[in-house]
Amino acid sequence: MTPKITAFERSPDRGRGLARDMRVRWALEEAGQSYEVRLLSFNAMKEPGHLALHPFGQIPTYEEGDLALFESGGIVFHIAERHAGLLPDDADARARAITWMFAALNTIEPPIVDLGIAKLLEGNESWYEKRMPLVQDRLRKRLGELSARLGDAEWLDGEFSAGDLLMVSVLLRVKASGMLDEYPNLCAYVARGEARPAYKRAFDAQLAVFTAASAR
């Protein structure tokens, strides 16, 4: 059965692959699983039909037969559990890879989202200039710790896993800020992720959606 995911009809990131359908697309490509995409406007996301699938009215969702999922991390985990190549067979290595999935979403992504929100929504506030260094320092602390752990390794724990897929996806969100440049090994790590053929296929597919929307 071909799974169906949802994505932005016109992504606010202008096809840069930063919306969270990208990580689901990438996981499906790594798994060699074809998929369909249902495109949604911001309005359609808040309609009852979509809210039945996603309680918070967001993308991505994932439908496969009677199964309906939301939350990009849960969807990637589901894909990784059902296909070879995204989680190791060894039980301990598998548990560590799953831990990295949570670390990406729970420890690294929150300060990245904080930085994005501060820049997007708080720029006109009187306290913006005072708060920004604090937001940056919180992110810098996490990036420094991650950089120290990764060291010269290719991936976070042995072979490429869903933990790396989510970590690279999350780090890509900070690339444009220039802060990642302070950590050459993280830049190289992200570049290794982006160089994977499955990543490129997923990126091209989401870019094609934005290009088509822009031509209309």
SS percent in the chain: helix, strand, coil, step 5? 60, 10, 30
What the block records as the tokens of 157 is 């724990």
- Least CB distance to ligand GTB at residue 18 (A): 4
13 lines the binding site for ligand GTB (CB under 6 A): yes
Counting contacts by CB under 6 A, is residue 20 touching ligand GTB?
A: yes
CB closer to ligand GTB, 119 vs 196: 119
**174 contacts ligand GTB (rule: CB under 6 A):** no
Which listed residue (18, 31, 115, 167) binds ligand GTB by CB under 6 A?
18
CB of 141 to ligand GTB, least distance (A): 22
* Residues in 69-128 that interact with ligand GTB by CB under 6 A: 71-73
* Bridge pairing between strands 67-70 and 61-64: antiparallel
Joined tokens for residue 50: 């979509």
Task: Give the interface size with ligand GTB as a residue count (CB under 6 A).
Answer: 14
- Give, as ranges, the residues between 41 and 60 that touch ligand GTB (CB under 6 A): 42, 45, 57-60
In the complex, what is the shortest distance from the CB of residue 111 to ligand GTB, in angstroms, rounded to a whole number? Answer: 15
Contact 128, 122 (CB under 8 A): yes
To the nearest whole angstrom, how small is the minimum distance from the Cβ of residue 92 to ligand GTB?
27
Strand partners, 170: none
Burial class (CB in 10 A: 0-12, 13-18, 19+), 101: buried
| Minimum distance of ligand GTB from residue 115's CB (angstroms) | 12
Helix (H, G, I), strand (E, B) or coil at 109: helix
Strand, coil or helix: 112: helix
Which single residue is written with the structure tokens 């220039």?
178
Q: Which is nearer to ligand GTB, 12 or 32 (CB)?
A: 12
Part of the chain binding ligand GTB (CB under 6 A), chosen from 67-75, 78-86, 158-166, 187-195: 67-75
SS (H, E, C) 119-186: HHHCCCCCCHHHHHHHHHHHHHHHHHHHHHHHCCCCCCCCCCCHHHHHHHHHHHHHHCCCHHHHCHHH
Least distance in angstroms from the C-beta of 13 to ligand GTB: 3
Residues forming contacts to ligand GTB in the complex (CB under 6 A) are 12-13, 18-20, 42, 45, 57-60, 71-73
